[in-house]
Amino acid sequence: MLHRKQQLPQEQFTDTDYFIYCLEAMNDIETDTTTETQLNLEQLTLQYGIASIYNIFDTIEGLETSLNTLVFDDHNFNDYEIIYLVTEGEANSICLNDYCYSLQEVAEIFEGKLNGKILHFSNAKVLDLDEEEAQYFLDVTGAKGVSGYGNEYNGISSSNLDKAFFNLFKEDDNMLDVVEELHQKHYNLCKLLDFRLYY
């Protein structure tokens, strides 16, 4: 498993008690290319002073290992409010190397590990859950919420809206207030991408 920490000047870490943990699915974790996601995380730091840890995975086991490393080995775990998942998939699944896992299966992997966290999906995958699926995910993982987008990528990345969302959380940890403010400030983009939150 590759563990890539975004490089930040040391003083920025000491000022920051708020982190984003980003996990990005890759077809091949051996490739050493900088992804659009990494560039966006760098911008998140420069624009908003939000630090991030970035990991890549290419299997469901890799995803589980990355999460376990965070939960059990990272002493800053309580500071991560948001786990940012960049992966392809269908409405209620994630797809890795031509195999899809339902969010029910993903919930079982994350069982009890997301207490108080928000799992946020980029619009690399559509997020569309019915009430029962959403409730199951929240109950099993302990997550405070699951957020993402109802509309497909279609050439418009959610990265700018993702960054705005993360920044609002830095200012206010009331999830519903943050979503309301996001819609007020970025109404057209929220509508276009169909931002949604299950809680």
**What domains lie within the chain, and their CATH numbers?**
3-198 (3.40.50)
**Per-residue model confidence as pLDDT tens digits over 26-54:** 988 887 889 999 999 999 999 999 999 99
CA distance 87 to 22: 11
CA distance 127 to 95: 13
**Per-residue model confidence as pLDDT tens digits over 157-196:** 999 999 999 999 888 888 999 999 999 999 999 999 999 9
Kindly list the strands in the beta sheet with 118-121, ordered across the sheet, starting from the edge strand earlier in the chain: 3-5, 51-57, 19-25, 80-86, 118-121, 145-149, 195-198
pTM, entire model: 0.88
